[in-house]
Structure 1
Amino acid sequence: MALIPICGILLAPSAQADDTPSSRELLEKCGAGTDFCGFHPDGPPKEVPGESHQVGTSVFNCTDVSQMMNVSWSDTDTESNSVGVSVGVEAGFWEVFKTSLQVSYGHEWSKAHTEQQTTSISVPARQVGWVTRQPTLLETSGTFEMHFGERYHGHYYWYLPFTETAPKGDAGSVSQHTRTMTSDEAKAYCGG
């Protein structure tokens, strides 16, 4: 990720690599060492699919007839960003980011969302069933603009490209799956 210090109209980094602060260092200065810190989104948040993964535990039908079996599960989606900085309550940049999205697009940004359900699966005889969930996430990109009263690593102004992904706050896509048990599973869960 390129950090772009700007003095006047300078658009390319001119400081030595050793003199350039990390993205984390810049974000930690937002609201706690800057005269101004703002976030400029490139556009409204867009939906992106999260990673599909199993939720709850697998269920095993040890009988010789198909069974309806319930899988109760809970799954939590959390935010992530291109800088890899975790968002704590003390993170000044998070408040700047949230406020910008609220003002620009009326969107209330969330750090985490937990979805809880009980899903019924029709599991054929001697098969195993499980549930997967693919969460729906929201992603927005933009630039943090920071002004310093005194030169910070040689510059008064810094611009930091930034992308944030956070939960949309819905169930996403929930799917049911079944397959034949392995011999080891049959022994472990059904006694043979």
Structure 2
Amino acid sequence: MSSVRKKVAAALGSAIALAALVVATPGTAMADHEEQPTVAQLLEQCNNGTDRCEFHVESVEKYLGPEQRVTSDAYNCTSVNQNLSKTWSDTTTTGTSTTQTIEFGGAFEAFTAGFSVATGKTWEKSHTETHTESLWVGPQKKGWLTHRAHMVRSHGYYQLNFGDRYYGHYIWYVNDVTMTGIDPDNTYGESPVFREAETGSGDC
């Protein structure tokens, strides 16, 4: 196992800082009077004006996403149990701790490459699960399905190397960046959960 992968494995479950910080030297702050680029300006340059742009993974944490309702109600307005079919769909997309809007061009490509090197897994920008289930709904009741996705947080920093000085420096870092997305080891997530309630006066 590479040193990066060992570092990631050792950091599983650690707390994640969400603020993004721009520095010219890792671990140090810029002087108040020194002009510096924004996070957005730097990440827009990633593989689009840099000699090299890399994302270095420092930790990976798996967690369970929130329970989401993924179907409309299936109504049983009869006096006996009914086996009703419902198709559910749940989409998980990539999120980031940086506050600006980025189209995830070169910066996203650098992140996915770094994630793959560190974990041996492929990051998905967006993942959709769609399945059809049979629901046994009780008489005069309505039923629906909920789902919880298995998620992953990847925390690390960007290193950008420039051929010419950019805001006075050849190398810039964007620290404390966290990306969230679907867990590549379990894209399906938890099995959907059946919920049931009494029908209302206007349901049947």
Fold similarity call, TM over 0.5: yes
| Distance in 2 separating the partners of 1:12 and 1:66 | 66
- Partner of residue 188, structure 2: 171
> 2:33 matched to 1:21?
no
**CA offset at residue 106 of structure 1?**
0.9
> 2:95 matched to 1:77?
no
**CA offset at residue 24 of structure 1?**
1.8
Question: Size of the alignment, in residue pairs?
Answer: 181
- Partner of residue 145, structure 2: 131
Map Cα deviations across residues 126-184 of structure 1 (whole Å, 9 max, x no partner): 1110000111112110010112233323433221121111122522121110011222x
- Partner of residue 11, structure 1: 28
> 2:57 matched to 1:41?
yes
- How high is the sequence identity, in percent, across the aligned residues? 32
**2:20–2:98: 8 Å Cα contact kept in structure 1?**
no
SS of the residue corresponding to residue 182 of structure 1 reads: coil
Counterparts in 2 of 1:57-136, with a 5 A limit? 57-84=72-99, 85-88=101-104, 91-136=105-150
**CA offset at residue 71 of structure 1?**
1.1
**1:5–1:157: 8 Å Cα contact kept in structure 2?**
no
Map Cα deviations across residues 58-80 of structure 1 (whole Å, 9 max, x no partner): 11111112222221122221111
**CA offset at residue 15 of structure 1?**
4.6
Counterparts in 2 of 1:139-154, with a 5 A limit? 139-154=153-168
> 2:75 matched to 1:50?
no
| Distance in 2 separating the partners of 1:87 and 1:168 | 22
**CA offset at residue 36 of structure 1?**
2.2
Displaced runs of 4+ in structure 1, greater than 6 A?
A: none
Map Cα deviations across residues 27-80 of structure 1 (whole Å, 9 max, x no partner): 11111122221111103x332222221112211111112222221122221111
**1:119–1:131: 8 Å Cα contact kept in structure 2?**
no
**1:5–1:155: 8 Å Cα contact kept in structure 2?**
no
| Distance in 2 separating the partners of 1:167 and 1:10 | 30
| Distance in 1 separating the partners of 2:111 and 2:27 | 25
Using structure 1 for the length normalisation, give the TM-score. Answer: 0.83
**1:48–1:138: 8 Å Cα contact kept in structure 2?**
yes
- Name structure 2 gaps, 5 residues minimum: 1-18
| Distance in 1 separating the partners of 2:165 and 2:21 | 15
| Distance in 1 separating the partners of 2:22 and 2:96 | 18
Using structure 2 for the length normalisation, give the TM-score. Answer: 0.79
| Distance in 1 separating the partners of 2:188 and 2:110 | 28
